[in-house]
Chains A and B, each alone.
Chain A
Amino acid sequence: MKIYTGTGDKGKTSLFSGERVSKASDRIEAYGDLDELNSVLGALIAHLPSDRSDLVGELQQIQADMFVIGAWLATTANSPAAGSLAPIEVKQIVFLENAIDRLDDLLPDLKNFILPGGHISAAWAHVARSICRRTERHAVLVLEESDDEETAKELTRALIYLNRLSDYLFVLARECNRLHGLSDIPWKKS
């Protein structure tokens, strides 16, 4: 099966809601960021300890959620295509909040800023966290352009989800170091 379509060769792409838009638009930036984030989550998963299938499962659930959020980012306001999309549910945000609390309980209190890094899995978690922040910034632009209630409601949930996700990835980075017997590297003012 050939996977290339050739329909984007002149710089445009199709949204889920049917419009043809420039690949340089904010909306495409936003779900492109999300795609990048999902790939980096894959790299992070590949570096997790083999006996932590619980964390792998958690991250794969997040990867699946990325597709739902991506579909909303690819759908313009007032589109009938929105009727085909799964909603972003509060329970998906609660899932992240519970995971943050669980990991945070395992970690020593943080007294300084820390440098991103340590074990390779922690380093990937920090890369994912910073891409998540960028995704959030671009998603805000998309939300600001949305003028119907339903789409705005879903995008607002997407923003909350992304905001929690970056916090989750921060504590997960620290947990990855802890799992490998490494301490966080404190920031020292030079």
Chain B
Amino acid sequence: MTTGEKDYATEIIEQRWISKKTFEIRLRRPETFNFRPGQRISLKYENFERDYSLASSPDETHLTLCIRHVEGGQLSRVLGDAAKGARFSFCGPHGYFTFKPSQRPAVLVASGTGIAPFRSMVRSGLTPEFLLHGVATSAELYYAEELKAASGTYIPCLSQPSKSQTHFAGRVTDYLPRHLPPANYDFYLCGRREMIRDVTLLVDELFEESFIYTETFY
């Protein structure tokens, strides 16, 4: 619920396409705005409002959003076309999808731009035991290099792999039962509803005493 919340004014510092369908925008960070890695903001433009997870760390001077261009999507179209200096407002931070330290190894699972909150966590110093990124093709592995450097095991999963690529061919739900050693984990799932449902049911079956935290992108 955003009613009665403080609105922050911001503007675009930089906008760049990081794949054919995905772009990143950097927003000026208001001085008084703070957040925890994994949280979201509600970006507003005219009558539109949409939640986006922050992909930057709280230590950075700007706010980064990683946005998939949605055909017919009102705000993603505006943002995709927005020029440097374009003004917006936002409120937040929202959400509880933050890292909860425990004795169990952390398995971070993202589909598509669901990688955003994990990038924020990793840039804030988190080194997860496993970080899976499910996308269609290797062209969508936009943060591969920095995530690979930060995570114990960074595993891109490609649902439409080309013949020459060396990444895991299949969805995250194909990878987990085949390659994740039996144990109890803390699963953090972010992205499409279908991925979250399928991984949750799989965890119930194969990693029964594990914990699950989710953030669904609609």
Residues of A at the B interface (CB closer than 8 Å) are 1-2, 5-7, 9-10, 12, 14, 16-20, 79-81, 84
Contacts and interface: CB of A to CB of B under 8 A. Distances in A.
B96 A10 contact: no
Nearest to B218: A1
Given A18-B211, A20-B211, 5 more contacts: A2-B193, A5-B200, A6-B201, A20-B208, A81-B100
A80 B214 contact: no
Contacts of B196: 5, 7
Contacts of B212: 14, 18, 20
A84 B98 CA distance: 9
Nearest to A14: B212
Contact of A10 (B98, B204, B211, B214): B204
A138 B210 CA distance: 25
Nearest to A2: B193
B11 to A, nearest CB: 28
A7 B211 contact: no
B101 interface: yes
B102 interface: yes
Interface string B93-125: 000101011100000000000000000000000
14 contacts: A2-B193, A5-B193, A6-B193, A7-B196, A7-B214, A10-B201, A12-B204, A14-B200, A14-B212, A17-B211, A19-B211, A20-B203, A81-B96, A84-B96
Interface hub of A1, A16, A18, A84 (most chain B Cβ within 10 A) = A18
A5 B196 CA distance: 8
B140 to A, nearest CB: 23
Nearest to A9: B201
Contacts of B84: none
Interface in B125-169: none
Contacts of B204: 10, 12, 20
A6 B204 CA distance: 13
A81 B197 CA distance: 21
Contact of A6 (B101, B197, B218): B197
Contacts of A14: 200, 212, 214
Contacts of B211: 17-20
A2 B218 contact: yes
A16 B96 contact: yes
B61 interface: no
A180 B161 CA distance: 71
A81 B97 CA distance: 10
A54 to B, nearest CB: 20
A17 B98 CA distance: 11
Given A14-B214, A17-B211, A18-B212, A5 B197 contact: yes
Given A7-B197, A18-B213, A80 B100 contact: yes
Interface string B37-50: 00000000000000
Nearest to B200: A7
